[in-house]
Amino acid sequence: MMSKILSLTSLLASVSLVAGHGYVSGIVIGGKYYGGYLVDKYSYSNNPPETIGWSTSATDLGFVDGSGYQSPDIVCHKSGKPGALTADAPAGSQIEMQWTKWPESHHGPVITYLASCGGDCSKVDKNSLKFFKIDAKGLVDGSKAPGTWATDNMISKNNTWSLTLPSSVPNGNYVLRHEIIALHSAGQKNGAQNYVQCINIKVTGGGGSAPAGTAGQALYKDSDPGIQFNLYGSLSGGYPIPGPSS
């Protein structure tokens, strides 16, 4: 009987750990609200609503780790498929990504990229997307391990991450790739946990230039300094944001 009780306790503990992870349930762009893809609800519906958010099979609210960095799953999460809708996004406007929740123990950077769809984002091949970085924040205060991180700032702002869409981004349809990389187990190989969220936007009133971008499967390597990183050691050297500089 005792072993059964212990087994049940272990199972409940593991479920609570998984349930603690969040996802982007809503997005505000230029003051207008859009619903995201509610993976723990829509995945089980025969007729889910159309959204700007990409669907995913990650119903466990899980992650992609270093073993999946060269797979399509790293592009827009596990089995990610384009959202049917696209949100208008004036260049220079503020974008708010509203996460359902985030565990305080999952410290790490928050990074956002854009990739031109070259047409209708609802029909884009995710493997053809080339991403360039538009927003990134990592270690905020490393005076005492495990430090204060971008994720801590997000939690303090009602689990919302705000960024500004650069005014230099040319007009057109883009996939916005928003990501938290949890580093609590990143001291070991493939311990970093990438939680990827993608939405479709149409940039208007933009500028005339954008970086060439990097394919999703080439954004990270499992040995990158910002991927294999011990946040429980000395943080005096700072934190190198992973991925291309632009």
Domain spans, the chain: 24-218
Please give the span between the terminal C-alpha atoms of the chain, in angstroms, as a whole number.
Answer: 57
| Short-list 183, 179, 199, CA closest to 191 | 183
Token pair in block for residue 135:
């927003």
pLDDT tens, residue order, the chain (246 aa):
433 333 333 333 333 334 458 999 999 999 999 999 999 999 999 999 999 999 999 999 999 999 999 999 999 999 999 999 999 999 999 999 999 999 999 999 999 999 999 999 999 999 999 999 999 999 999 999 999 999 999 999 999 999 999 999 999 999 999 999 999 999 999 999 999 999 999 999 999 889 999 999 999 999 999 999 999 999 999 999 999 988
What gap in Å lies between CA 100 and CA 110, rounded to an integer?
Answer: 15
Token pair in block for residue 153:
């700032």
- What's the CATH number for 24-218? 2.70.50.70
pLDDT of 20 reads: 54
